[in-house]
Amino acid sequence: MVTPPTPWPKPGRFDDALSEIVAKGDIAEAREFFDKAFWQNRQDPPEWKHMRLALMREDAPMIRLLATWGAHPNEDDMAALRAAMSDKYLRYVQLLRQAGLRSNGQPWEDVAPSTTPAPANDPVAGQAFVEGRFVDKRVEQIPQEWRKVLATFHAAGSTEAVIAGGALRDIFNNRPVRDVDIFMRSQGSQKKNRAYLKEVFNAAGIAVREQEFRHSDGYGFSITKEAFPEPKSHVEKDFDIAKRTRALESWKLVAGPANTEYNVIFVEDTLDRKLAKESSRYESKSLFVGGLLDAFDIGITQIASDGEEIVSTRAYDEDVRLKRLTLMRPNDATVDHAQRIIKKYPDFTQSEELKELLKPKPRAARYDSWS
């Protein structure tokens, strides 16, 4: 099986192995995790984020195990927990006490709620444990029409289709949304992609509006109206991975009652295709989304949703938490892209790498041919 030289981020609701184990409630697997860490002399202690997951499940055995291995909230953690989950707070305090945990300062029952609201995309506070599974409440913020479009693509066979990047970045951080980018694997040709788009939007019952385009024929200008205008194409080559090419075909559509601008981007990635052939359906979807997010240039853009779940990288989570814009994988369009994001996020700082990229470049010295 062909594998990338560095692992792609695993799309999942949690960003590390222990969080996945705690979320499943698998106490045996959690004990095995800690046993391996101990015998391999790995410094991998549980954190408060793991304890919060166990609390949401009201999983007393897991809470006790995490406490044994050193997970312990401080007063700031408890204040934030109370602010985000006031209705369950006293029950959580009871569970922590039953696990042998005590406050180092004032009693937890007396800790005042934090005056700083939990981030809208806090990976735990933004979720609820319902009927044996975690439900990401942020999905409710995604407009129903967007989710309907995704669901129709999934039903038509593109189970990997996701909304990714700017639209989710902005909707979860209270900024105006300009357009919606939907990514999926190509159907094989521009002709097939066009027919596929018509089929899916028709099946979804979402009308696609004609757009006006001005053309020059050398003698003057003419105006045409097209619902599915010619796409823009772009090819990327990754020289770190031999023979890898990623071709992007972007179709701009205006659809629905609100005249939403959809950019449907068909991806033809040679490495992704090789990996997907030897993967299960779920793994195939994970590979596509992981490779997609890994290629995005700014950390805060590395977020995606299939309409039911939300996937984000550590870079996205950290950018939101720290109110920072971090340069990840610069490309030819990054300078313009970053400047647009900075204008929309004036309250965010920029990483040193991004600042360096955006510095005005000095003009090269001119030498006259006769000097």
Domain boundaries, the chain: 17-137, 142-313
> CATH for 142-313, among 3.30.160, 1.20.950, 3.40.462, 3.30.460?
3.30.460
Residue 306: phi and psi, rounded to 5, are -95, 10
Q: pLDDT tens digits, residue range 220-276?
A: 677 788 888 888 988 876 545 456 678 899 999 999 999 999 999 999 887 777 777
Q: Is residue 317 pLDDT above 80, yes or no?
A: yes
What DSSP state is assigned to residue 298? Answer: B
Helices (H) and strands (E) in the chain, counts: 14, 14
At residue 243, the pLDDT reads 61
Greater confidence (313 vs 204) lies with 204
DSSP string of 99-127? TT---SSS-GGGPPPPSSPPPTT-TTTTE
Task: Decide if domain 17-137 falls under CATH 1.10.357.
Answer: no
At residue 106, the pLDDT reads 64
Q: Give the mean pLDDT of the chain.
A: 81
Greater confidence (327 vs 125) lies with 327
* Percent above pLDDT 90 for the chain: 34
At residue 135, the pLDDT reads 64
Q: pLDDT tens digits, residue range 57-93?
A: 888 899 989 988 888 888 888 888 888 777 788 888 8
Greater confidence (352 vs 242) lies with 352
- The answer to whether domain 17-137 and domain 142-313 are alike in fold is no
Mean pLDDT of 284-305: 87
Q: Is residue 11 pLDDT above 70, yes or no?
A: no
- Give the pLDDT band of residue 5 (cuts 50, 70, 90): very low
